[in-house]
Amino acid sequence: MNKLECDIVVVGGGPGGSMAAKFAALGGLKVIMIEKKAEIGSPLRCAEGVSKKWLEEVGVKPDPKWICADMAGATIRSPSGYTFQLDESKAGSEVGYVLERHLFDKALAEQAAAAGAKIMMRTGCTGVIMKDGKLAGIKARSMGDEIEIYAKCIVAADGFESQVARWAGLDTTLQAKDIDTCIQYRMTNIDIDPKYCEFVIGSAAPGGYVWIFPKGDRIANVGIGVQAAKCKIGADPKYHLDRYIQSDPRLKDGQILEIVGGGVSTCPGLDESVADNLVLVGDAARIIDPITGGGIAHACRTGMYAGKVLTECAKKNDFSKAALQPYEKMWRDRFEDKLYRNWMAKERFASLSDEILDDLVKMMGDADIGEVNVHNLLKAVKEKYPQVVEGFEELI
């Protein structure tokens, strides 16, 4: 059996993994990043919409190579078809780009490689190695060979599957109400506004929403997320998406070029995202915006934090849970309260009737809420429908 040794092994070559690998390697550590698939960033498991502001925060310069479309705004469509349009002047940081994930993810992996990280493709983690009761590395299958990679610390960046943490004894199990199960079509020959990302809320997508994220003229990612607790045999996300497409005259004559699926967590992040010799980043730590299901920005932030904290840990050669606490503090200080607020809001919105959602979207159009973001929207909702935000007013 082939045995490898390094300081840090990163499991998963998505944005969180690449950022962690990059910043740990920049700190002078010997890093190996493994990726199960044959291509970084593909097959797609993502709607590809992101906001703009955070890119600067994680030191990533927008590059036309991986920006597919620059959005002028977003539209929220109610069950009966009332719309509320957010343009860039109103929406601020909530508006952004539609990416080419297969190129974006590779660009981040390139940065990790340039910093000195070694990348092993088609290498999937199959378990962890314990030595004297401590986490000592991972087992993997690499191009068909069973290998072992010993490391001082493991970065679990294995996305929604989040198996590395569970093999290591951390519980990342989700409740069915905190999972959205998704399917997405790349559709062409559709009659959409190529400058606006659209969100369709209500019973068309039980507990979730339908999205239409343009990838150019007459082409878009059209997808749906349905709360797992509301999925039924025979009424799966594909059933709901097909039904929606038939009901929307803009999409009815569309043709499908690609079908992808995926799961997304909609909880406020794990209570513990580190253990002895283990750090969880991004989706693997269930760190995702519970309202939008967006995970790329948080994956990049947490990956960067992890890489920086690991660099510090290496100076004392201490990767214990206690030594990794600065990582917990960094991401929680930065955005944990927002995750909680959006989680509470998601729970409420998922329970609202189509009539109330119609009313809310109409109201948003009438109200003067200044810059439109989740905070201001909830504030407006609070005035008219205090029961919707009952119990988490203090977070607004």
Q: Which residues bind another protein (CB under 8 A)?
A: 43, 45, 124, 126, 141, 159-163, 166-167, 173-174, 176, 179, 181-183, 228, 231-234, 236-239, 259-263, 265
SS3 259: strand
Q: How far is the CB of 221 from another protein (least distance, A)?
A: 14
Choose between 214 and 262: whose C-beta lies nearer to another protein.
Answer: 262
Pick 124 or 194: Cβ nearer another protein: 124
Distances (CA, A) of 163 to 121, 214, 347: 18, 33, 26
**How many other C-beta atoms can be found within 10 angstroms of the C-beta atom of residue 353?**
11
Q: 163: which 2 tokens?
A: 């198996």
Whole-number Å distance between alpha carbons of 7 and 310? 10
Would you say 166 or 218 has its CB closer to another protein?
Answer: 166
For another protein, which is the closer residue by CB, 55 or 299? 299
The residues near 133 (Cβ < 8 Å, ≥ 6 apart) are none
- Shortest Å distance, C-beta 296 to another protein: 17
> What minimum distance in Å lies between the beta carbon of 207 and another protein?
11
**Residue number with CB closer to another protein (162 or 292):** 162
- Listed in order, strand segments (DSSP E) in the chain are 2-11, 31-34, 49-51, 67-70, 73-77, 83-87, 96-99, 118-120, 123-131, 134-142, 145-156, 179-188, 196-201, 209-216, 219-227, 255-265, 274-275, 278-280
- C-beta of 229: minimal distance to another protein in Å? 9
**96 vs 237, beta carbon nearer another protein:** 237
Taking the mean position of all CA atoms in its chain, how far away is CA 135?
27
Q: Which is nearer to another protein, 183 or 310 (CB)?
A: 183
Cβ closer to another protein: 181 or 311? 181
- Nearest approach, Cβ of residue 288 and another protein (Å): 11
C-alpha pair distances (Å), 180 with each of 71, 283, 350, 354, 384:
25, 13, 11, 19, 28
| Cα 218 to Cα 214: distance, rounded to the nearest angstrom | 8
Q: How far is the CB of 119 from another protein (least distance, A)?
A: 19
Q: Which has the closest alpha carbon to 18: 77, 58, 62? A: 58
Give the shortest CB-241-to-another protein separation in angstroms. 9
Nearest to 159 by CA among 169, 172, 148, 149: 172
Nearer to another protein, 59 or 127 (CB): 127
Of residues 164 and 361, the one with the C-beta less far from another protein: 164
Nearest approach in angstroms of CB 260 to another protein is 6
Largest Cα–Cα distance of the chain, in whole Å? 67
Shortest Cβ distance from residue 224 to another protein (Å)? 9
* Distance from C-alpha of 267 to C-alpha of 248, rounded to nearest angstrom: 30
Cα–Cα distance, 230 to 175 (Å, whole number) = 12
**Runs of H (alpha helix) within 154-217:** 163-167
Report the candidate in 319, 81, 64, 311 with the shortest Cα–Cα distance to residue 201. Answer: 81
DSSP at 190: -
CB of residue 226 to another protein, shortest distance in Å: 8
